[in-house]
Amino acid sequence: MPHPYLKAIKKTFAANADATIAKGAKAYLLNQFEFYGIKTPLRRQLSKEFYKTHPIEDHTELSTLVKECFSEPQRELHYFAIELLGYHKKLWSKKTLPLIEWMITHYSWWESVDSTNTHVISKFFLLYPEFIKEYTFKWNRSNNLWLQRMSILFQLTYREKTDTSLLTEYIEHCILEEDFFIRKAIGWALRAYAKTDSKWVVNFVKTHPQLSNLSKREALKHQ
């Protein structure tokens, strides 16, 4: 039986569906996912109201609900699950890491993976830095491009807290990757850190001629 919370949020989303918006959203993501057709501001408003009135007190239940949401075809339910996990950070622990990895590697595309980073991954590692090296190293050496992307991007908002030795190591391991999403991630991570130390980023680009033109262009976009 579906989790009762899933049945409730599906009913709420269905009541706010818009076929025209759904068609456009589906096309934007290359027809990989179905949509109810709910614009982000309204979806977040509906979701936040739901989170507040339906608190979850147990990590196992939270994990089950997240996976059930992801098993549904509508992409808005995947976003709901990501933000649900972000909302319940009081339940986070080492047990959350396998769930994070599952979310990165299932029904994956750039927007869900990056949203998982924004709402969960980057914040999780700030709370539990003792797990950074073990897990992000594993992701970086993985054959899964989305795990690799997250190893490069998890520090995106860290600014002065950025571990540049780790960033260097992870970029250098992926520097010859031809995948667009890896190359974009490298450039994006460097561009973000340039807001904190532009000289470091400029020097990094100069001393790493193997960087793709896309990565270089992104890294130096505001220099």
138 & 214 share domain: yes
pLDDT of 79-106, one tens digit each?
A: 999 999 999 999 999 999 999 999 999 9
> Which helix (H) or strand (E) segment is 72 a member of?
none
Confidence (pLDDT) at 65 = 96
Q: What is each CA distance from 103 to 9, 109, 114, 121, in whole angstroms? A: 19, 11, 11, 11
Say if residues 149 and 185 touch (Cβ distance below 8 Å). yes
Amino acid identity of residue 96, one-letter, is T
Same domain (yes/no): 86, 148: no
Domain boundary among 91, 109, 138: 91
Assign residue 201 the CATH number of its domain: 1.25.10.90
Instruction: Give the number of domains in the chain.
Output: 2
The pair of three-digit structure tokens given for residue 141, joined into one six-digit string: 């050496």
| Last residue within a domain, chosen from 38, 64, 91 | 91
pTM confidence score: 0.94
The answer to whether residue 108 is domain-embedded is: no
Q: How confident is the model at residue 223 (pLDDT cuts 50, 70, 90)?
A: confident
Q: What are the tens digits of pLDDT across the range 163-222?
A: 999 999 999 999 999 999 999 999 999 999 999 999 999 999 999 999 999 999 999 998
Is 34 in a helix, a strand, or coil?
A: strand
Residue type, 1: M
Pair 81, 4 in one domain: yes
- Condensed to tens digits (0 to 9), the pLDDT of residues 99-126 reads 999 999 999 999 999 999 999 999 999 9
pLDDT for residue 69 is more than 90: yes
**Is residue 1 domain-shared with residue 56, that is, in the same domain?**
yes
My answer on whether 158 and 221 are in the same domain is yes
Q: Looking at the structure, do residues 87 and 153 belong to the same domain, yes or no?
A: no
What's the CA dihedral at 135, 63, 102, 73 to 10 degrees? -150
Note the pLDDT of residue 2: 78
Mean pLDDT over each residue of the chain, to the nearest integer? 97
Mark whether 190 and 136 lie in a shared domain.
Answer: yes
Q: What local confidence, expressed as pLDDT, does residue 1 receive?
A: 79
Rounded distance, CA 211 to CA 32, Å? Answer: 30
Whether 55 maps to a domain, the answer reads yes
Q: Is 45 within a domain? A: yes
Model pLDDT, residue 222: 85
For 45, the domain range is: 1-91
Q: Are 136 and 117 in contact (CB under 8 A)?
A: no
Residue 48 lies in a domain: yes
Distance of CA 41 to the CA centre of its chain: 18
pLDDT at 164: 98
Residue 119 inside a domain? The answer is no
Mean pLDDT within 47-71: 94
- The stretch 142-159 carries a mean pLDDT of 98
